[in-house]
Chain A
Amino acid sequence: MRVVIAEDLALLREGLTQLLQAHDFTVVAALDNGPDLHTALTEHKPDVAVVDVRLPPTFTDEGLQAAIAARTQIPGLPILVLSQHVEQLYARELLSDDTGGVGYLLKDRVFDIGQFIEAVRRVAAGGTAMDPAVISQLLARQDQSGPLAQLTPREREVLAEMAEGRSNSAIAGRLYITEKAVSKHINNIFTKLDLPPSSDDSRRVLAVLAYLNGQ
């Protein structure tokens, strides 16, 4: 799988490169600034890109801007954005084109290598990978009122896992329940939130995220 990496700290860039190469990714470009990233994304059209939000020359949200710009040129271009902090605002912007193939994770998540690689693969496959911090903020915000209050604690757990982008089998594994139980919970959630049922995993996640975002 071909991957583009953009990270301005050499240490982290090398680390990410080694990590991904060790898991059968081919790193076609590893860059340290925004303008180069934009060119690399549009020229290489990688299977997935791992991008830091803050990049030179402006040291603002150069990486995020380049990612969003590339995705308007090449809809659905899979990009996983990494950051030292998560903002609902950025999550919303990444999700707004509604095509999937996006991820937004804290850099800390790289510590858990298994899960990180799984997230990269998921994004490459057109799915989503949202940081648990983003999802818990969204859930907390909608908590006081509305249909979310009707969910059972277990359904809330399943909803959070699903919103992060996990598949039914992954949710089942993490919550120690059967896949059948997971799909039952998901059906209940969709009924309670009044969302249209969907068999396509990534469509389903996008619907849930859009719901949580209040869009």
Chain B
Amino acid sequence: MATAPHRRAGRLTTLAYLFLLLSQNIAALLLLPLIIISAILTLAWIGLPFVILTGTLLRTLADSQRRTLARLLPKAPHPSAYRPIPPAGITRRSATIITDPTTWKDILWLISGAANIALLAIPATPLLHGTYQLLFSLGLTSPTLYGTYTPTTTLHQLLILAPSAILLTLGCLLLPPATNLYLRFNHLLLSPSEKARLTARVAHLATSRANTIDTQTDEIRRIERDLHDGAQARLVALGMNLGMAEHIVEQDPRAARAMLTQARETTRHALTELRDLVRGIQPPVLVERGLHGAVHALALTHNLPITVTIDLHGRPADPVESAAYFAIAELLTNTAKHAHATHAWVHINHGRNRLVTTVTDNGTGGADPTPGSGLTGIHRRLDAFDGTMNITSPPGGPTIVTLEIPCALSSPKTLPSSEKA
């Protein structure tokens, strides 16, 4: 399915990619001397900061090439499998870069840049020449051909069309085999080894596990504080009120009655606090109705009109439902606070073993996942499930946030009864 558009777009698309690949390889050739210089400087320690700089540049460039390759070869993915660079310490950061085997494979790719350019030039040269000659014969360039030959009659000028046509045809014929060869060669160079892939995966899992534990610890600390300062304190006050009422009920029934009224109020406050706390841990409606009912319930109490469409045949696991619910709730809160929107849409479905949620609004856009914003919180939550979040929010809107969480659906236990609502 995914390859169909590529095939249909055919030669023109391949042509566009040809020039993209060429420019990436030229950039690679330019980067090579920088890397050599930083390698030499490293011998005298002062090169280490340069290693970090060039190493990062190398990763960016190789990754952009990987992405281009992934577009052209959708069936053979090229995940980038670098060891994460530690946040601080020149020696540690440069050591990570130098000892990462993927760096060395990347350098091999840089060195083969010349060969790559030569390979790409096979179809590119006849195509460029053919185009030049075509433009010349149509009188669109300077009156001399290659600066040497000036045709005197129109017939002479048009005669150039013949070699132009030959060259263009040749270029078109050479384009597919040359790009195919290029793709295979570079796939070999840039696809990570199984070991590198697993190392990168382990590093990612370690980070996301640490984040998950941090988030959970914060959460538990918050709950402890809320219980300690809230419901627990109120129950103490309640006990005191009741004790005092009991003590004075015979001497002063009127005061005892006032204390009992106060005790009732305190109980009500404690219940309200506990209710809010429970809602923050696991909203009861999520337990009772699953994601389907909970998102509908959320939409009903939201200030904006929200259209909810859910297309799920079964229920995801409880932790996934909870993560998705809180992410949606957070996104809708953001929409209400910042987006100046008049309508929002939530769409949930399941495909390719992923729970896919999109939250869209017609607001002013410009949502920015800066560190510390609610969006990074969502990101962390999803990371625990290998989930991803994608934000498209150009200035002027609309904002579209897509959440994907890998999960399977259980068979439908009970059909959602809220259909009739």
CB atoms of A111 and B268 under 8 A apart: yes
Chain A 29-60 interface residues, beta-carbon cutoff 8 Å to B? 53-54, 59-60
Among A14-22, A82-90, A164-172, A184-192, the stretch in contact with B: A82-90
CB atoms of A60 and B289 under 8 A apart: yes
CB atoms of B418 and A85 under 8 A apart: no
A93 cross-chain contacts in B, Cβ below 8 A: 417-418, 420-421
| CB closest chain-A residue, reference B300 | A88
| CB closest chain-A residue, reference B276 | A85
A89 interface neighbour in B268, B275, B297, Cβ under 8 Å: B297
A96 interface neighbour in B289, B303, B420, Cβ under 8 Å: B420
B112 cross-chain contacts in A, Cβ below 8 A: none
Among B66-74, B278-286, B382-390, the stretch in contact with A: B278-286
CA distance A70 to B271 in the complex (A): 30
CB distance from A85 to the nearest CB of B (A): 5
B314 interface hit (Cβ, 8 Å): no
CB atoms of A53 and B275 under 8 A apart: no
B301 interface neighbour in A96, A108, A137, A144, Cβ under 8 Å: A137
CA distance A141 to B303 in the complex (A): 5
CB distance from B151 to the nearest CB of A (A): 74
Chain B 263-311 interface residues, beta-carbon cutoff 8 Å to A? 264, 267-268, 271-272, 275, 278-279, 284-285, 287-289, 293, 296-297, 300-303
Assuming A93-B421, A111-B264, A111-B267, is B284 touching A85 (CB within 8 A)? yes
A61 interface hit (Cβ, 8 Å): yes
Assuming A65-B417, A93-B421, is B303 touching A87 (CB within 8 A)? no
CA distance A53 to B288 in the complex (A): 9
CB atoms of A89 and B296 under 8 A apart: yes
A89 cross-chain contacts in B, Cβ below 8 A: 285, 289, 293, 296-297, 300, 418, 421
Q: Which of B264, B284, B288, B289 has the most CB of A within 10 A?
A: B288
A154 interface hit (Cβ, 8 Å): no
CB atoms of A108 and B268 under 8 A apart: yes
CA distance A96 to B296 in the complex (A): 16
Which range contains the number of A residues in contact with the other chain? 20 to 34
Assuming A108-B271, A111-B268, A144-B303, is B288 touching A88 (CB within 8 A)? no
CB atoms of B279 and A85 under 8 A apart: yes
Chain B 396-421 interface residues, beta-carbon cutoff 8 Å to A? 417-418, 420-421
CA distance A119 to B270 in the complex (A): 23
A92 interface neighbour in B268, B300, B417, Cβ under 8 Å: B300
CB atoms of A92 and B275 under 8 A apart: no
CB atoms of B278 and A141 under 8 A apart: no
B278 cross-chain contacts in A, Cβ below 8 A: 84-85
Q: Which of B271, B301, B302 has the most CB of A within 10 A?
A: B301
A141 cross-chain contacts in B, Cβ below 8 A: 301-303
B268 cross-chain contacts in A, Cβ below 8 A: 108, 111
B288 cross-chain contacts in A, Cβ below 8 A: 53-54, 60-61
| CB closest chain-B residue, reference A65 | B417
Taken residue by residue from 134 to 161, chain A's Cβ proximity to chain B (1 for < 8 Å, 0 otherwise) reads as 0001001100100000000000000000
CB atoms of B421 and A84 under 8 A apart: no
B293 cross-chain contacts in A, Cβ below 8 A: 89
Q: Which of B271, B285, B293, B303 has the most CB of A within 10 A?
A: B285
CA distance A85 to B420 in the complex (A): 22
Taken residue by residue from 248 to 268, chain B's Cβ proximity to chain A (1 for < 8 Å, 0 otherwise) reads as 000000000000000010011
Assuming A111-B268, A137-B301, is B285 touching A87 (CB within 8 A)? yes
CA distance A96 to B300 in the complex (A): 15
B272 cross-chain contacts in A, Cβ below 8 A: 108
CA distance A88 to B302 in the complex (A): 11
Assuming A108-B268, A144-B303, is B289 touching A85 (CB within 8 A)? no
CA distance A65 to B267 in the complex (A): 29
CA distance A68 to B419 in the complex (A): 13
CB atoms of A84 and B285 under 8 A apart: no
CA distance A68 to B420 in the complex (A): 12
* New A-B pairs, 12, CB < 8 Å, besides A85-B285, A88-B301: A65-B417, A68-B417, A84-B278, A87-B285, A87-B300, A89-B297, A89-B421, A92-B300, A92-B421, A93-B418, A93-B420, A141-B301
Can you list 26 A-B contacts (CB < 8 A)?
A: A53-B288, A54-B288, A61-B289, A84-B278, A84-B284, A85-B285, A87-B297, A88-B300, A89-B285, A89-B289, A89-B293, A89-B296, A89-B297, A89-B300, A89-B418, A89-B421, A96-B420, A107-B271, A108-B267, A108-B268, A108-B272, A111-B267, A137-B301, A141-B301, A141-B302, A141-B303
The interface of chain A, by Cβ under 8 A from chain B, is: 53-54, 59-61, 65, 68, 84-85, 87-89, 92-93, 96, 107-108, 111, 137, 140-141, 144
